[in-house]
Chains A and B, each alone.
Chain A
Amino acid sequence: MWETIILTLKLASVTTLVLLVIGTPIAWWLARSNAWWKDAIGAIVALPLVLPPTVLGFYLLLALAPSSPLGQAATALFGHALPFTFAGLVIGSVIYSLPFIVQPVRNAFEAIGERPLEVASTLRASPFDVFFNIALPLARPGLLTGAVLGFAHTMGEFGVVLMIGGNIPGETRVLSVAIYDFVETLEWDKAHILAAGMLAFSFIVILVTMVIEKRMRKRLAGSD
């Protein structure tokens, strides 16, 4: 059981980290760009919100299969095929949880407005400098929300995992799959422990986030 819990936490942590690195620039671009095809990119990023996880998992399975071009590239890069591995699971989770990080971070960037960025540029800050030293610090509440949502969403994912990860203990067997298994095999007490643990964990995470976010906003509010 501990193996499953640790694996799940590891998957969620790695996924959140990757999400922050990939999702933040996407959110910045979506918030700032005037390109006409911006909305199309936004829609693609948001797609996992409405797409059934099994559909996403199915296409990922096909895309990453050793016979596909993408799968061959991945095999060359990682040394093995990605489906039914931890790395494959991370890729699936990142795509699946992307909108949960991009949306709040994008909102936070948009809320900053043009002015602080313009002020920084008149104070000799290059665009990179502005991004790292003005935009990111001012978007902290959004980044926190995004990270927590991405983390929590990954913790609970099921459909994508089952499609491209399977159920290999210590490699791809995560909590939600384990709960399903326990229920299937009528081990209700074990299912109870995991389910109740998830419930308590989720509650605490959301509560703590809300409190921290509120304090962050207070510290940044009132500017003009």
Chain B
Amino acid sequence: MSEIHARFKGTTGTFNLDIDFNLPATGVSALYGPSGCGKTTVLRCMAGLTQLATGNLTINGHVWQDEHTFIPVHERPLGYVFQEPSLFPHLSVDANLGFGQKRSKKNTGSLGFDKVVELLDLGDLLERSPLNLSRGERQRVAIGRALLCDPEILLMDEPLNALDQQSKNDILPFLQRLHDELAIPILYVSHELKEIEHLADHMILMEKGRVLTCGALTELLADPSWPLARMPDAASVLSGKVSAIDKEYGLSTVQLSGVELTVPGNVGVIGSHQRLRIIASDVALARDHAPQGSSILNGPVARIIDVRKNGPYSMTVFLKLGTGANGSEENGASLLSRITRKSWDSLALKKGDQVHALIKSVALAN
């Protein structure tokens, strides 16, 4: 029963929300959509902070809300991180962190105080007043405070939104650590696709109070039916395992399903899982084989599975990595390529063709 089922329908103010989704209760699920599409309202409904006419919420088989039940906010085993850190100014950092921990029923949580302090690097802040912390530090404390009440699910409402770029870059690694080390599911609201590409496993796509679709991040990013692949900075996320490290040139080889990619830098120990992000406009296509005398390191074989016009002069090509022999492209990782219409025409490309995807740069996304 490791699942989250949510259905909320009703009106707050002039806004109509009507959503229904199922999510696996593991990993990070991103709620993504333009500002004002109701992402925050969904999160508030799940927490019980907002009550709509109809609401059903079941988490891991426990009913939090249905026609007859409404568990009040303070009895729901959740952690909530708001957009602004909202630390209590009359309490020290230490007391802020302990606020929820003191009040949560079971103090046997998997995450002890010391573990959370270590995970979010809060050791030097404990004795200080929240007023003397930077915004990034405050948000880290707020995340720790939410984790310490031993939640069964962590709800995060654009926790990086109120931060400047520097603080964002400071916090992102901590969020990635949460993703790697926490057993509980995280529901992460954001309108920044880049954050989601770094963190999320699943994604719920929202628009105007409705759920457009819901699925695995890597698939939704490369799905021609959804607007994500059409965005100017569209990118693919691929996950794989480090299979070799070249110390002399400072390169790592990451094994994906079907192909190997070379990534600059020592990205992790051999066998570790890594997530790669490849921007669509960094992927060029070549007909027969990778051109000789090129500085490009990665030119894996791929098959064109679909194509969409992207404005009058540009094409988005949907690829599956691998040779496609024995139908193995079904399992191959998805990759997006953004090329000009002229190139598409002069290469006479079409669906089903085998090409080389010339990848100019691969970035680690975790």
Q: How far is the CA of A63 from the CA of B130 in the complex (A)?
A: 52
A114 to chain B, nearest CB (A): 9
The 8 Å CB contact of A115, one of B79, B82, B131, is B82
By the criterion CB–CB under 8 Å, are B146 and A137 in contact?
Answer: no
> At the interface with chain A, which of B96-104, B256-264, B282-290, B337-345?
B96-104
Q: How far is the CA of A137 from the CA of B47 in the complex (A)?
A: 25
- Give the residues in chain B near A125, CB-CB below 8 Å: 74, 99, 103
B206 to chain A, nearest CB (A): 22
By the criterion CB–CB under 8 Å, are B85 and A123 in contact?
Answer: no
The 8 Å CB contact of A124, one of B87, B89, B103, B138, is B103
List which B147-200 residues lie within 8 A (CB) of chain A. Answer: 149, 162
B191 to chain A, nearest CB (A): 20
Question: How many residues of B sit at the interface, in one of the four size bands?
Answer: 20 to 34
Q: How far is the CA of A120 from the CA of B100 in the complex (A)?
A: 8
B226 to chain A, nearest CB (A): 32
Contact with A along B71-87 (1 / 0, CB 8 A): 01111001110101111
Contact with A along B132-155 (1 / 0, CB 8 A): 000100100000011001000000
Cross-chain pair count, CB within 8 angstroms = 75
Q: How far is the CA of A88 from the CA of B191 in the complex (A)?
A: 63
The 8 Å CB contact of A129, one of B84, B103, B104, is B103
Q: Which B residue sits closest to A223, measured CB to CB?
A: B89
By the criterion CB–CB under 8 Å, are A119 and B103 in contact?
Answer: no
> At the interface with chain B, which of A43-51, A79-87, A156-164, A214-222?
A214-222
The answer to whether A134 has its CB under 8 Å from any CB of chain B is yes
Q: Which residues of B contact A (CB under 8 A)?
A: 47, 49, 72-75, 78-80, 82, 84-90, 99-100, 103-105, 130-131, 135, 138, 145-146, 149, 162
Additional A-B contact list (20), CB under 8 Å, known A115-B82, A116-B86, A122-B73? A118-B49, A118-B73, A118-B82, A121-B73, A122-B74, A122-B78, A122-B80, A123-B74, A124-B103, A124-B105, A127-B74, A129-B103, A138-B88, A138-B89, A140-B90, A219-B131, A221-B89, A223-B130, A224-B84, A224-B138
